[in-house]
Structure 1
Amino acid sequence: MRKTKIQHAITTALSGMSLAALALTAPLALAQEAETEAAEPENLEKIAVVGARGAPRSVTSSPVPVDVLSAEDIEAVAFTDMNNVLMTLVPSYAVSRQPISDGGTFIRPATLRGMPTDKTLVLVNSKRRHRAALVSIGGSGTQGPDIATIPTAAIANVEVLRDGAAAQYGSDAIAGVINFQLKENTEGGSFTADYGSYFEGDGDQITITGNKGFALGEDGFLSISAEYSDSEATYRGEQYCESWFCVDEQSDQYIADATAMANSVHGSDVVQPWGQPNTSGTRIFVNAGYALTDDAELYAFGNYSESEGDGSFYYRYPGNGTIEDLRLEDGSIWSPLEIYPGGFTPRFFGDVTDYSLVGGIKGMSGALGYDISGRYGYNDISYTLSNTINPSMGNESPTSFKPGDLTNEETQFQADFTYDLDEYVFAFGLSYLDESYEISEGEEASYFAGDYAQADPWGFCNDDYTTTEAGAAVIANGSTLNCANYTSNDSDEDGIEDDGFEGVDAVYTIVGVGSNGFPGYSPDYSGSYERDSYAVYTDISGDITDSLFAQAALRYEDYSDFGSELVYKVAAFYQINDDVGIRSSYGTGFRAPTPGQQGTTNVSTRLPNGQPVATGLFPAGGEVAQALGAEELLPEKSTNFTLGLTANYGDLTLTVDYYNIKLEDRLYSVSTRDVSTTVVTDPDADGYDAYQNYLALSSAGVSGAESIGGVFFFQNAFDTVTEGLDVVATYKMDSTYGTTMITGSVNYNDTDFDSDPSEYLDPEDIFDFKNGTPEMRGVFSVTHSYDVWSAVARLSYYGEYENVGSDDGDVINEDTIQTYGSEFMFDIEGSYMINENLTLSVGVRNLFDNYPDPSSNGDACCGQIYDSASVVDWQGGYYYTRLAARF
């Protein structure tokens, strides 16, 4: 495609900065091509540094830290999930594998610089990427984009801005910005087939991905990328054996039944599987542009993605509150063991649909550049639950359920402008954003409160524990009903009634409501949460002197649900000499809680006290959470400060950047609060608060409140300070034996409280928040190419971290603090170019089959060996082969 006047004009107008630096100046500029005309050689070095083969990955001329990852960098990583690719290449980016985390099993939340997903803005071609429908049910309750929907074949390069940029891009850009630049090829293409498996003999994975470019006449391009991936589950656990129930200690018949259930349901020999889930997906991305004139260009891009996955919940054993004896209407005894003789492990399935469309026109009118665009984004998660029951329906319960769907939609219109003022570039713009989050009602059986959600549903017994006429009738027919088999006493006058009951007849059994493991969304908790917002911004940047570049930005945003806010940022780069420069920035940020964070509700099984408990999450602004003491959510506000050093000594490039992020009114889930139906009237007695929480749930009309053992909600719980250091170095060597590129990147990150969190978090959660992730992370790689051969060796380092197993009231049990040692994981890959079109690669990820330390402090249960939330991979070694074609 020919170079248009618009592209040349913008390149010339902004030639004082690299393209990565322009990401901080104006969304319009970042959308332009990284190439320049041969007639402008003086601009080539400044513009083409981004994404150029063999170029330093960290930009040294930018006033803030920017990493640029080329397509070659991405292709050299033995992952297809973009989350894993970024984690491998960017040490301050982290993501964990959470096998039992509801929707988090399928859409994994990530962190950048210790900040959760929703504090990092994701762009595609410099346009905001829509959020996924998933709201994480614990911790920060994050709701961010699902970047796994972006196929690696579609990417020309990735720019990772490691600094707050809310003044330029708005809400979410507190920790940084990740911009995915799509390919713009008019011809040629690629095809890659990848197959691999873990050393353990499971987790087989196949990925097929490709790209093809087409010319649209003489002045346009169409680039189409597609990917198909399929990954089988892994199993890294052991048999379920806990103090409250141990499979191995049961009868031979029970063990046989339980093992048969496990094999038929999830294909392992243990009743509780731990590992990565089964996943598969098909993803398509399209990028197109067409030059209308020398001064104007139309562009459009979009995607369509369908993916699915399945995982397990916690194993249900006899007597756990779900598998209980019930007395049916005919007076007989029934148990779920008649359906599941070995107990059961609910299976959770998620079908994720994601699509988007962005279109616009950009051009130049004299010194004024413009980019006017509109976008629409849609993400939907449809859940299915199988191998479970609705306990309250007894023997009439189905074993498969549709608990409902979650949908996130966004529509945005945006206009961005730049104006060339010779020595300076003035940028300004405005946008309008409409977003909605919808919880769709599940099928009735998934939330229905059946007959056994209450005691004695058939009226067999009187209040004085004598038999009614109906009860006498079933006894006459041979029932073992015994209404008197209910002992109640309060002889010790401790304020706790019924603390001495034993041998209760099944007629009094109360069980949970809804599909067990994930109750469906009832009409009471379904609905749509909507808002709109608008923003205006201005930005000016340029060379103050020959050595000093400076930038200032101002942004005003107004939300229909949270009011308005004005944020700003200043940044500067000073070139001390030809080799060394210093840079710094200071800015403020503002992040409004998403509609999803305001409206999400969930009842699922969690481990607040080390044992599986049905736990309910309720919206902070709703009746239930308000009855539990919640307050309406507020926006989060931040201040960012960075100070860095950049150096270029021949073929050595080095950047060192310190950062400090203060976050006020940080959104976080409160520690799980116990719920109990045991009547406790003495405010000073143990269990009083738990009983009050039950009364609050009951008075708010929560169906199945009797079976809920814990509750929590999101709050603006505390303030934090996150500070750290990023070091990135690259060194290039050329010799008669080929070219070698050495890259080293290290991140130190520490987050601490800046206010007292004890009102919202218990001691265990406070300790784990501060100590639960490694403070040090490093990635070191060597790439060497010679003739038709090339090789990549990569070493990943994870520092020590700690986890506490349990707390005793307001005191941490020091004996349960476990220190997880540092870990090194080594990857290696070799490639042979068969001909100019075909390349064969073989490699091993985690060559020495390293695992993190097993959990030994009692915090893990139910067959779990490793801390499943750890950012340190616990799947073991993985080998693979790849065939790549270029044409």
Structure 2
Amino acid sequence: MSNLHFDSAAQSVRFPRSALALACLLAPLAQAETAATDDSRLDTVTVISTGVRGAQRTVADSPTPIDIINSDQLLKTGRAELSEAISKLLPSFNFGTNIAGFQSSVRPLSNRSLGPAYTLVLVNGKRRHNGSIPASGSIDNSGANAVDIDMIPISAVSHIEVLKDSAAAQYGSDAVAGVINIILKNSSSGGHYESSYGKLFSGQGETLKLAGDQGFTLGDGGFVHLSADARKRGTAGWIDKADPGYRAYFEDDRQAAWDRVAVKNGDPDLRAFNLAYNAELPLADDLKLYSYATYGERKTEAYNNYRLPNSNASIPELFPDGYYPLNNIKDTDYQFLFGSKGESLGWDWDASTTYGRNKNQQSSDLTINPTYGPASPTSFDDLATLQFEQWVNNFDITRRFDGVFGLKVPTQVSAGLEHRWERFRTFAGDPIAYTVGPYTYPATLADGSPNPLYQLANGQTAVGAQGALTIRPEDEADVKRNNYAAYLDFGFDVTDRWYIGTAGRFEHYDDNSGNTFSFKLNSRYELTDQVAVRGTVGSGFRAPSLTQTGFTVTDNRTALDANGNVVPALRRTVAPGSAAAAAFGGQALDPEKSRNAGLGITWQPAQRTSVTLDAYLIDIDDRIILTENLYDRANGSGAVGDLLESVGLARTTWINYYTNAFDTRTRGLDLVADHTSEFGAFGDVRWSAAFNYNKTTLRGTRATPADLAAAGIAVVGHGREGDLVAASPRTKWVLGANWTLGNFAANLVNTRYGKVETWQQNAAQDRSFGAKWLTDLDLSYLLFDSVTVSVGGTNIFNVRPDKNGVYNANGNQTAYGNPPFHPGGGFWYTRLAYDF
């Protein structure tokens, strides 16, 4: 892979704030013909491998839309980690918020309004292993365990190729919406070291980052490139205080002195580091060995809702003033790859093996199991552990022929085999965290007066460690499977102007997912030297994630009831094929199947100007999602309580499971424009604009069993529908200008996020949150040809989402809904970097 000399036409964008900025963009486009004739065209320098098998192609020659992000752009996104940085730079991606609980450290990165499970992540062209946490919360309730991109150090990244098209026929399951291919740095000399510091405008979220990478020579003509980063981020919250009438204490004097902080959800405290190497060693002219590895650890501390002194989670002897349960989460992630590549009998070949593991450990420094009363521990070192492993073996060959099948057409033939082994396991924690102890509230206090806590529920306390995810021995999961795949890919250069590509892939799963065949047909035709059209049709397949099939868990947290109120809840997520799920209409999961089509046009009227426009349609059948919370609205005395009791669960349990819920159709449009203007003594400005329109609709919904429907309960109802069709912005603009003048550089980015909606089970509780413009600014100056000093800010006008959530008297934790951008407001930073 050659190094990037400058950005491709489909890169991220930099542009001013108002609508006037768009007019400023269009004016330089008209001046494009005056650009210097000795400059290379944008499309002839950046070479990509994603989306094609075999020979590499330039971005503009690609028959499918490709975006390129380079390392400099990633570093200029301020406080962002890798996944959030991608969302800031590409309009079709959105980074959801997830501000509470055990999922706080892993946040969803959606592409074309489809969750992260539908975009395949590669590193150096090889499949990246998944994380271990099922998606549950924010706008992604699919239960899929997405790749934890933030465990890859940004300092290790040379650039990222983003294929915005289905590629399941080429790369396999999960590539329904596209592919993110992270290319690691591969230089044998030089390096980059930097430090940065910043805070939210509110003074919270203090962030410190240290990062560095350096290349070294390996053998004769080889390299090893080492990278590392470390980051620290403080807690940040932005939730209102409780209503003055909301009571935390029985006594009036203590209530009057209370600070009314009942909710502390927000960004968790974070400590993390990542390490990586990338290496290659030539052994002969036609044989090379290569390897890479990444290792990361991340510790987070997330607050939960206040357990009030006057609630049945209170044990006054331990915490007379109540307590905020803490989720302490440790993620450990690593992947290593070894491979060789060369040439034999006219064929280029590549063989590799890679193993990755992600482990998530749950503990708490501040929680209790109230059923053990004053004897309860106040901290738990082991609440639950989740672990995902993946081992992938690949063998690929490719060769260019002057013609095949009797056709005198230059043809690239590629083929390959893949074996993938996956395993998902969960491990039970401390029994005191999930068992029911002997304690009940006494009817009277020591002075003989009535105990107000006894009056709450006839002496019964809340059950289990509070604000915690717990796994019981009977809920431990250990599911694994093998996948065997073979693909064949042809690329035909029919004429100098016309390219046709076709691919087919057969996959066999040794579990219920069975066999599948996916195909892809794409083409590109140059109408003129400046204008080309391209299009794609194909099919895809996504097997249920092992987390979706095997995850069973109990958590004691607050939840939203059918009317949108925040209430305590003992929630059980059960496996789809279990007896408990079957009682509520559950059954074994079917694979998701997709069909896609795309049509686009590229226009390069001059050497420094590029415009691309691509429309797409994606149909997905049997999309998997978590059911609504199914519970007895008669407080356990109704028909749902009978069902729960029949499967051995408490009548007041809230139950849910993963199910094939919806058939969906996603339609959209991507527009990218790019131009560089020369202003002589006033420097150069690279103008960019990108736009995404995206709409998902339902084509079918699974039915609710008659007995549940009679009780007024929908297995998948209005709330889950809203996650798919309304929670992501339908439009997103990213406008920018990148001005360079000698050693000075300024990047200005303006992003408009369209309206989003948060739907509840009760449609009367739906809320809408209006469109917002956010502006980022980065200023830098180069000293001594090697030291760069930068200052900047993200969301410099401190824009917040509309405060329109469902009102809760205890502090409106849903005030901002689930915005597609960080709700904490503006963030400033400084950065010092050394390059050599």
TMscore range, shorter length: 0.7 to 0.9
Partner of 1:192: 194
Cα displacement string for residues 588-611 of structure 1 (whole angstroms, at most 9, x for unaligned residues): 111111212211123332213322
Q: How has the CA–CA distance of structure 1 residues 534 and 20 changed in structure 2, closer, same or farther, with 3 Å as cutoff?
A: farther
Alignment partner for residue 794 of structure 1, among 723, 729, 749? 749
Partner of 1:464: none
**1:711 equivalent in alignment to 2:631:** no
Equivalences for residues 421-440 of structure 1 within 5 A: 421-422=401-402, 423-440=410-427
Q: How has the CA–CA distance of structure 1 residues 613 and 187 changed in structure 2, closer, same or farther, with 3 Å as cutoff?
A: same
Task: Report how many aligned residue pairs link the two structures.
Answer: 768
**1:600 equivalent in alignment to 2:551:** yes
Which amino acid in structure 2 is aligned with residue 607 of structure 1? L
Alignment partner for residue 701 of structure 1, among 621, 624, 648? 648
CA contact (8 A) 2:489 2:503 kept: yes
Alignment partner for residue 262 of structure 2, among 262, 267, 271? 271
Q: How has the CA–CA distance of structure 1 residues 217 and 866 changed in structure 2, closer, same or farther, with 3 Å as cutoff?
A: same
CA contact (8 A) 1:25 1:427 kept: no
CA distance in structure 1 between the partners assigned to 2:732 and 2:308 by the alignment: 40
CA distance in structure 2 between the partners assigned to 1:20 and 1:622 by the alignment: 50
CA distance in structure 2 between the partners assigned to 1:878 and 1:110 by the alignment: 21
Partner of 2:27: none
Which amino acid in structure 2 is aligned with residue 754 of structure 1? R
Equivalences for residues 319-330 of structure 1 within 5 A: 319-323=310-314
Question: Aligned-pair distance for 1:612?
Answer: 2.4
**1:301 equivalent in alignment to 2:303:** no
Partner of 2:791: 842
Partner of 1:23: 50
CA distance in structure 2 between the partners assigned to 1:847 and 1:248 by the alignment: 40
CA distance in structure 2 between the partners assigned to 1:882 and 1:869 by the alignment: 30
Alignment partner for residue 350 of structure 1, among 306, 329, 353? 329
**1:564 equivalent in alignment to 2:509:** no
Partner of 2:361: 382
Partner of 2:127: 128
Q: How has the CA–CA distance of structure 1 residues 757 and 148 changed in structure 2, closer, same or farther, with 3 Å as cutoff?
A: same
Q: How has the CA–CA distance of structure 1 residues 168 and 19 changed in structure 2, closer, same or farther, with 3 Å as cutoff?
A: farther
**1:823 equivalent in alignment to 2:772:** yes
Partner of 2:342: 363
Q: How has the CA–CA distance of structure 1 residues 883 and 819 changed in structure 2, closer, same or farther, with 3 Å as cutoff?
A: same
CA distance in structure 2 between the partners assigned to 1:742 and 1:113 by the alignment: 24
Question: Aligned-pair distance for 1:181?
Answer: 0.4
Which amino acid in structure 2 is aligned with residue 23 of structure 1? T
Partner of 2:618: 661
CA distance in structure 2 between the partners assigned to 1:526 and 1:540 by the alignment: 45
CA distance in structure 2 between the partners assigned to 1:363 and 1:250 by the alignment: 78
TM-score normalised by L of structure 2: 0.87
CA RMSD, Structure 1 to Structure 2 (Å): 2.8
CA distance in structure 2 between the partners assigned to 1:369 and 1:480 by the alignment: 85
Which amino acid in structure 2 is aligned with residue 735 of structure 1? F
User: Match of 2:700, SS?
Assistant: coil
**1:373 equivalent in alignment to 2:352:** yes
Cα displacement string for residues 429-452 of structure 1 (whole angstroms, at most 9, x for unaligned residues): 001111101101101211222124
CA distance in structure 1 between the partners assigned to 2:324 and 2:447 by the alignment: 34
CA contact (8 A) 1:133 1:379 kept: yes
Partner of 1:721: 665
Question: Aligned-pair distance for 1:690?
Answer: 3.0
**1:883 equivalent in alignment to 2:836:** no
Question: Aligned-pair distance for 1:573?
Answer: 0.5
Question: Aligned-pair distance for 1:91?
Answer: 1.1
Question: Aligned-pair distance for 1:298?
Answer: 0.2
CA contact (8 A) 1:188 1:213 kept: yes
Partner of 2:221: 219
Partner of 2:398: 418
User: Match of 1:190, SS?
Assistant: strand
If you compute each CA radius of gyration, which structure gives the higher value, 1 or 2? 1
CA distance in structure 1 between the partners assigned to 2:128 and 2:463 by the alignment: 38
Which amino acid in structure 1 is aligned with residue 685 of structure 2? T
CA contact (8 A) 1:512 1:706 kept: no
Q: How has the CA–CA distance of structure 1 residues 121 and 20 changed in structure 2, closer, same or farther, with 3 Å as cutoff?
A: farther
CA contact (8 A) 1:805 1:859 kept: no
Partner of 1:785: 740
Partner of 2:407: none
Alignment partner for residue 750 of structure 1, among 690, 695, 701? 695
Question: Aligned-pair distance for 1:205?
Answer: 0.5
Partner of 2:236: 234
Question: Aligned-pair distance for 1:505?
Answer: 6.6
Question: Aligned-pair distance for 1:172?
Answer: 0.4
TM-score normalised by L of structure 1: 0.82
CA contact (8 A) 1:591 1:636 kept: yes
CA distance in structure 2 between the partners assigned to 1:124 and 1:859 by the alignment: 44
Which amino acid in structure 1 is aligned with residue 375 of structure 2? E
Question: Aligned-pair distance for 1:226?
Answer: 0.3
Partner of 1:509: 459
Question: Aligned-pair distance for 1:773?
Answer: 2.3
CA contact (8 A) 1:98 1:868 kept: no
User: Match of 1:450, SS?
Assistant: coil
Partner of 1:466: none
CA distance in structure 1 between the partners assigned to 2:723 and 2:281 by the alignment: 52
Question: Aligned-pair distance for 1:108?
Answer: 1.1
Q: How has the CA–CA distance of structure 1 residues 249 and 730 changed in structure 2, closer, same or farther, with 3 Å as cutoff?
A: farther
Q: How has the CA–CA distance of structure 1 residues 504 and 107 changed in structure 2, closer, same or farther, with 3 Å as cutoff?
A: closer
Alignment partner for residue 673 of structure 1, among 603, 608, 630? 630
Which amino acid in structure 2 is aligned with residue 115 of structure 1? L
Which amino acid in structure 1 is aligned with residue 355 of structure 2? Y
Deviates more, 1:598-607 or 1:126-135: 598-607
Equivalences for residues 78-89 of structure 1 within 5 A: 78-89=78-89
CA contact (8 A) 2:201 2:825 kept: yes
**1:739 equivalent in alignment to 2:684:** yes
Question: Aligned-pair distance for 1:711?
Answer: 1.4
Deviates more, 1:17-26 or 1:788-797: 17-26
Long gaps (5+) in structure 2 = 4-42, 403-409, 705-714
Long gaps (5+) in structure 1 = 4-15, 31-46, 50-58, 260-268, 324-335, 461-473, 483-501, 681-687
CA distance in structure 1 between the partners assigned to 2:44 and 2:777 by the alignment: 36
Question: Aligned-pair distance for 1:420?
Answer: 1.5
- Identical amino acids, percent of aligned pairs: 29
Runs of 4+ with deviation above 4 angstroms? 16-21, 247-250, 477-482, 502-508, 676-680
Partner of 2:14: none
CA distance in structure 2 between the partners assigned to 1:864 and 1:779 by the alignment: 29
Alignment partner for residue 378 of structure 2, among 381, 390, 399? 399
Which amino acid in structure 2 is aligned with residue 417 of structure 1? I
Greater RCO, 1 or 2 (C-alpha within 8 Å, sep 6+)? 2
Question: Aligned-pair distance for 1:313?
Answer: 1.6
Which amino acid in structure 2 is aligned with residue 195 of structure 1? Y
CA contact (8 A) 1:281 1:305 kept: yes
Alignment partner for residue 212 of structure 2, among 190, 205, 210? 210
CA contact (8 A) 1:18 1:61 kept: no
CA distance in structure 2 between the partners assigned to 1:719 and 1:18 by the alignment: 41
Q: How has the CA–CA distance of structure 1 residues 250 and 210 changed in structure 2, closer, same or farther, with 3 Å as cutoff?
A: farther
Question: Aligned-pair distance for 1:861?
Answer: 6.1
Equivalences for residues 173-192 of structure 1 within 5 A: 173-192=175-194
Question: Aligned-pair distance for 1:72?
Answer: 2.3
Question: Aligned-pair distance for 1:691?
Answer: 1.9
Which amino acid in structure 2 is aligned with residue 656 of structure 1? L
CA distance in structure 1 between the partners assigned to 2:48 and 2:829 by the alignment: 37
